[in-house]
Chain A
């Protein structure tokens, strides 16, 4: 089979040119990264992002007016250009998927090319920008003049465009701050990652922090290293009343389990005290040695933990219980004098005065006795536009499901 190949850059452009342009952008991006690294902290905020966005939109329209009769327009709004841009972005994201995206101190090619923080690097920005231009021209080409038979195409592509555009521009206005709430105190200041404090148009008083825990688990550790011993799975078994379970070579029976207790004398007693900790009386039998009985406890911030020595090498211990559910009962005050009682819980944020309040964490050392609740407050004025884009893409996906291969069958005829 002989193929006639067209010399590069001779019109009409095709795949070769498309990939060259996309890789070229990548190359320039990396060169820029070598000379001036993007400072990951810098972001464009209101009103600059709004102005830039508007300018970008106008420029695209002007660009379209200028080139709409040329081959360049057909190329940029065509399939080869799209595939080139998508492929090169994919390549970049693959790099991102392999190298850990965390700040690093060392000086090597990964850090000089910012391969460890690609999302804030020049090449990433360039490719996305290029993709936005192409996508815009594709939408214009398919959407103008608008024909009903193209609605699904326009909906999904425009949805994607709006999502990238709004999320990209909005990222500068996105405020994600943390707030430390202490029980019975009112807080109106929040801080960012760098420790800068901001005053919020709302104040939160923590009335109660409630934490619901799973039962602690049984585990065996090596005496010398303190490492978890796990020759067989499961290596940890949740404690329940009257449980008998096989943990590796030992058969463990829970004789007594006290969720809240304190040690007095030679045993633990139920106790409802600040810092009371779970404890269990366990009997252990192995096929070789005699039975062993004793108390174990995971302790708490003010009570020691206690493990049971199984032999010279291993000990049985109780793990610190994991949280099942934690929530904060709060009163939220706003400058207009309103006050509202709300419950903050993971996955159940509350919205007040344009700020969304998320339950984030607590003082893990104190565990269930924590009087500190850390919440995240987020303001994202661009959220609604991103949502519009996302829902348009969803409609596009339903359309795609419904139409299936009619697209290619039609174009074949």
Chain B
């Protein structure tokens, strides 16, 4: 029953989201389709919640449903505010991806998460990072392109405005990621911040973008240094994302989820 309804809901969401990708220009219909996809997910999660008689947050499959829901909602809100069509489609793509993974792996609905991950903070914590990294990656593309244009002496000030906006939005979500993590840690382990290697690197990433933002706040004309800061900040972000596990400091991280025998 739960599985059949999942197929139905995921089918409606996927169909409407994929359809919306074919009509990027038809604003109203496209947004309506996106909204239908979101509603279908929301209704399904609601159904799951009532039929399981508990919040559907316990299994891998369940958390992925929430990812789909929240990511698409944030995509739509961001679109309404900033008209980034690429971001809307990125979000829909990510949502579809999570639905698709669930479709391929029905067993994920019965795979219980480890106790520490069974928290209402887990889903938002991950979701805002997925959004944030997309914005910050996009800002890096702008930075690299900007530096290239500087070299060719064809730089235009409007690039900086694009970069600024992307960084501000990405930074807002990054801040949420850190703070959700802190609140979760407090609820689960009694302490906000333990300087776990992943936390430390997330903090360094945050500080990196903070430097960019402050630099831009004052010296608007000096964009070259700002562009370099932006490019460098993304390198730190990558260390935080992939590199942490290879550092000597990572031996006791709570963020490494390798299965112990």
Q: Report which A residues bind B (CB closer than 8 A).
A: 78-80, 82-83, 86-87, 89-90, 93-94, 96-102, 119, 167, 174, 176, 214, 217, 219, 228, 236, 319, 322-326, 345-347, 349, 356, 358, 376, 378, 380, 383, 386-387, 390, 393-394, 396-398, 400-405, 407-409, 411-412
9 pairs, CB–CB < 8 Å, chain A vs chain B: A83-B211, A86-B214, A93-B207, A98-B249, A102-B252, A345-B115, A346-B116, A347-B116, A404-B164
B115 lies within 8 A of A346 (CB): yes
B240 to chain A, nearest CB (A): 9
Is B149 positioned at the interface, with any CB of A under 8 Å from its CB? no
Q: In the complex, A379→B173 CA distance in Å?
A: 30
A386 lies within 8 A of B195 (CB): no
B37 to chain A, nearest CB (A): 22
B261 lies within 8 A of A236 (CB): yes
A97 lies within 8 A of B112 (CB): no
A346: B residues at CB distance < 8 A: 115-116, 118, 188
B188 lies within 8 A of A400 (CB): no
Is B8 positioned at the interface, with any CB of A under 8 Å from its CB? no
B216: A residues at CB distance < 8 A: 408
A403 lies within 8 A of B179 (CB): no
Q: How many residues of B contact A (CB 8 A)?
A: 57
Is B220 positioned at the interface, with any CB of A under 8 Å from its CB? yes
Indicate which residue in A347, A400, A404 contacts B118 across the interface (CB closer than 8 Å).
A347
A83 lies within 8 A of B214 (CB): yes
Is B259 positioned at the interface, with any CB of A under 8 Å from its CB? yes
Indicate which residue in B116, B204, B217, B218 contacts A94 across the interface (CB closer than 8 Å).
B204
Q: In the complex, A115→B33 CA distance in Å?
A: 55
A102: B residues at CB distance < 8 A: 252
Q: In the complex, A233→B113 CA distance in Å?
A: 20
- With contact pairs A358-B190, A408-B216 given, residues A398 and B172 touching in the complex (Cβ less than 8 Å): yes
- With contact pairs A100-B248, A405-B161 given, residues A90 and B211 touching in the complex (Cβ less than 8 Å): yes
A156 to chain B, nearest CB (A): 8
A411: B residues at CB distance < 8 A: 217, 220
B204 lies within 8 A of A97 (CB): yes
B116 lies within 8 A of A100 (CB): no
